[in-house]
Amino acid sequence: MGTYVPNTREEQQEMLKAIGYSSIDELFSPLPKEVLLQKEVLLPKEELPNRSFHIPEGISEYEVRSKMTKISEKNIVFKSIFRGFGAYNHYIPAIVKQVTSKEEFITAYTPYQAEISQGILQSIFEYQTMICELTGMDVSNASVYDGETAAAEAVLMCVEKKRKKIIISETANPEIIETIRTYCNGLDVQIVIAPGKEGKTDCEVLKTLVDQETSCVLLQQPNYLGQIEDAEEVGKIAKGKDAKYVMSCNPISLGILKTPAEYGADIAVGEGQPLGLPLSFGGPYLGFMAATEKMMRKLPGRIVGETKDSEGRRAYVLTLQAREQHIRREKASSNICSNQALCAMTAAVYLSTMGKQGLEKAATLSMSKAHYLANRLCELEGFDLVYSGAYFNEFVTTCNGNPDHLMKQLEEHCILGGYPLAGKQAGNILWCATEMNTKEEIDELIHIIKEVAKA
């Protein structure tokens, strides 16, 4: 990118001088040293006199391809996956990639010019409509970066002058909690973690935490331990003090569980990866967000609306943009100004392909296979369910031995086992099953664990 920037070294120096700096190093001096690249590389220093690190010389397309191929060989494609923890291995109909691979979709960006972007605008509008149907909410945005970002954006939607306390259930995914902490760093916002009890939110303690200063309560359903929460009771506690209720949910589970709207939620968020996006090293995924009509003007990011053109024909536009940071920066509740349009369209194509019955079947099979997996694991010595409550497709067991050692042994058989938990849950394993796990795969897993135990 060094040669892509359309200005000369002299122009860069002139710009630095105009803002009172002598070098680029000095310009970035407020940043912590540990986040700055210190390594010296091949490009001669005189070509980048104002930089503390240097960009190597370019290589040919063939060399790039060879290098990327070697890197890709580090990937392991497991024949069986029994791990979830936020990213799930679901069946993706072939037509999903066939549609989304079309060039006109892949190259599309934010459709500011509605007159030439009707196709991509309609695809986003259809996605929004399906998310509303899935969650029971009134309005959805065009997606955000991921499920954790969606949760963080949602709680900030609820903060008001006299209500600056955010309550998050301890049973929410730790990455959600950490992302919210990051978002709130530097803001005058109090974050309170409501403790869990027996794998679920402790509603009795929650009652004592929610008060007139509480802006919202965030609950994950099912939670990160796989347990199905008493979401209705949590909602009543939040609403009892006029606090907003935010639910983070697994979209596949909504095929058989109640919708966030049925639980009384004001905002529904979640990770959209299960909706047709394959498991990837870091994504890209998408965060879905939907809200009640009362919260519509606080919903961050893009929203596509349907209208009519001057000739009365149906048309699509980016709507309610006055609430966005690029219009009213000083009044905006969010600085996010992009969306995952291709991933969102993938989710829309997946939902269209699966339909109501297909989604319900995927959810039912995931749940039934998880229960079969749990029953088989509990036949083994040293493996017991940690929690007795109802669960969807994930659950926690104890482990006979070292969980990390067991996972390495399973990897040698091309099986990605459960997720070894840490902290208070150290020594336990979070297992997952989806419709992709066959009875034969589960039985093979049990057989291998038995052999590892003998060894």
User: Does 260 lie in the same domain as 290?
Assistant: yes
Kindly state the DSSP code that residue 391 receives in the 8-state scheme: B
pLDDT category at 335 given cuts 50, 70, 90 is: confident
Q: Decide if 276 contacts 127 (C-beta within 8 A).
A: no
Whether 279 and 414 share a structural domain: no
Residue 329 and residue 384 in one domain: no
52 in the Ramachandran plot: left (φ > 0), alpha (ψ -120 to 50) or beta? alpha
More confident call, 400 vs 387: 387
Tens-digit pLDDT profile for residues 269-287: 999 999 999 998 778 899 9
Cα 58 versus chain centre, distance:
35
Residues 365 and 327 in one domain: no
Residues in contact with 138: Cβ distance below 8 Å, sequence separation at least 6, in sequence order: 132, 290, 291, 292, 293, 296
Q: Is 29 inside any structural domain?
A: yes
pTM of the model: 0.86
Q: 108 with 188, same domain?
A: yes
CATH number where 375 lies: 3.90.1150.10
Angstrom distance (rounded) from CA 307 to CA 287: 26
DSSP string, 31-77: S-GGGS-----SS-GGGSTT-SS-PPPP--HHHHHHHHHHHHTT---
pLDDT of residue 454: 80
Q: Are residues 337 and 375 in the same domain?
A: no
Domain with residue 274: its CATH number is: 3.40.640.10
Domain boundary among 297, 316, 350: 350
**Gap between the terminal Cα atoms of the chain:** 53
Residue 328, amino acid = R
Q: Worst-scoring range by mean pLDDT, 257-266, 308-317, 334-343?
A: 334-343
256 domain residue, yes or no: yes
* Overall domain count for the chain: 3
Bridge-based pairing of strands 165-169 and 214-221 is parallel
For residue 43, what pLDDT is reported? 47
Q: Would residue 67 count as lying in a domain?
A: no
Q: What residue numbers bound the domain in which 3 lies?
A: 1-58
User: Does the CA dihedral 179-140-251-81 come out positive or negative?
Assistant: negative
**Would you say residue 267 has pLDDT above 90?**
yes
Burial class (CB in 10 A: 0-12, 13-18, 19+), 379: exposed
Same domain, 218 and 316: yes
Peptide bond into 260 cis (omega under 30): no
Measured CA to CA, the distance from residue 374 to residue 225 in angstroms comes to 14
Is 183 a domain residue? yes
Is the residue at 63 inside a domain? no
Q: What is the pLDDT of residues 89-123, one digit of tens each?
A: 999 999 999 999 988 887 766 677 777 888 889 99
Look at strands 314-318 and 304-308 and give their pairing: antiparallel
* Vertex 68: Cα angle to 66 and 74 (nearest 5): 115
Q: What is the pLDDT of residues 28-84, one digit of tens each?
A: 889 988 777 665 544 445 554 555 555 567 889 999 999 999 988 888 889 999 999
Q: Three-class SS of residue 61? A: helix
- Whether 68 is covered by a domain: the verdict is no
Contacts of 197 (CB under 8 A, 6+ apart): 205
Residues 408 and 384 in one domain: yes
Whether the Cβ atoms of residue 317 and residue 121 lie closer than 8 Å to each other: yes
Per-residue pLDDT, 74: 85
Indicate if 297 and 362 belong to the same structural domain.
no
- Whether residues 337 and 377 share a domain: the answer is no
Q: How confident is the model at residue 325, as a pLDDT?
A: 66
Single residue among 316, 350, 384 that ends a domain in this structure: 350
Token pair listed for 327: 């219009």
Domain presence at residue 290: yes
Residues 237, 148 within the same domain:
yes
- Bond before 222 cis per omega within 30 degrees: yes
Q: Are 450 and 380 in contact (CB under 8 A)?
A: yes
Residue 442 has pLDDT above 70, yes or no: yes
Among residues 350, 372, 388, the one where a domain terminates is 350
Q: Read off the pLDDT of each residue in 165-173 and give the average, rounded to a whole number.
A: 97
| Residue 268 in domain | yes
Q: Which of 397, 415, 419, 398 is nearest to 451 (CA)?
A: 415
pLDDT per position as a tens digit, 344-362: 999 999 999 999 999 999 9
243 & 114 share domain = yes
